[in-house]
Structure 1
């Protein structure tokens, strides 16, 4: 009969490492948040159109180019206000706690190579982040990450630090008491171990 996972020495070593990494996550700042979002291209485009129209004035009649510039500025302001209100309510409708859960989920996925299910459990655990289930589910639904790659990273860690067999690594990757990756993700990891 196999020992339960929590009675194995390497499990506790892994827990100590995980707690240390979690402690360091609070000290690091995400550089992605400082990226500028401003892009204004409409002004250079209109000047380029005006240059083309002035060249038309030299070759053709003066009356036709006067009518075209009047129509174009009317169209541009109509389009811009429609786009801005659509984007703002989407961000405003998301509660702060949901956004925080998503940021934490991204940190766990990147720094600790955790699975989706593992991150969800960490976010909702009273010994972890203690987010409400709705916030954690929002994070899981909106996180974009390569879960197969995370499974491969975890598999390499088990292979190198604990010298585990492929079968043992696979079992640990899919275990409900282990990493909680899907069978497909775990198989990808085993197939790509070097």
Structure 2
């Protein structure tokens, strides 16, 4: 139970950090100005290895936004496919439509085994969890939601 509480706290902190990563500035009149440079760079740089698959021009903006958000979560938080889908569609998360979230999941370039391994390393190093407890946390429906195969890959490759 302690591990789930600690994991929940860690996830909330990370979500808050991601949410505050924008380039918002406040002008003298009190209005907030947001820089879109990062989003434009991602959208215009589809040939970069590890970036999203090429985005079609006729794809709705919401789908493109969901894909960019999915890439951010995968890269910075090492989320599982199921965890990522839940975060994108959650009323407490990103609130994307199920169609936009599914598009993002289908098109994000992510190494789910690598994500599981990174998450396992975090549990091993910061929470001193046993391999068995890490596996359970990685596969738990209330935890990370990795597949059994992805979790086993992570356990097999821990140092």
TM normalised by structure 2 equals 0.77
Could you tell me which residue of structure 1 aligns to residue 103 of structure 2?
138
- Structure 2 residue runs of 5 or longer lacking an equivalent are 24-36, 48-54
TM-score by length of 1: 0.64
> Alpha carbons of 1:26 and 1:164: their partners in 2 closer, same or farther (altered >3 Å)?
same
Find the partner of 1:187 among 130, 152, 157: 152
**Is the helix fraction higher in 1 or 2?**
1
Distance change (3 Å), C-alpha of 1:92 and 1:33: closer
After superposition, give the CA deviation of every residue in 1:88-120 in whole Å (9 maximum; x if it has no partner): xx8232111111111100010001110111110
SS at match of 2:56: helix
Q: CA RMSD in A?
A: 2.4
Distance 2:46 2:61 in 1: 21
8 Å CA contact 1:98, 1:139 repeated in 2: yes
- Residues 109 and 145, structure 1, Cα contact 8 Å, conserved in 2: yes
Partners of 2:90 and 2:45 lie apart in 1 by 32
Structure 1 spans left out of the alignment, 5+ residues: 38-89
Larger Rg over CA atoms? 1
**Shift in Å, 1:23:** 1.9
Aligned residues: 138
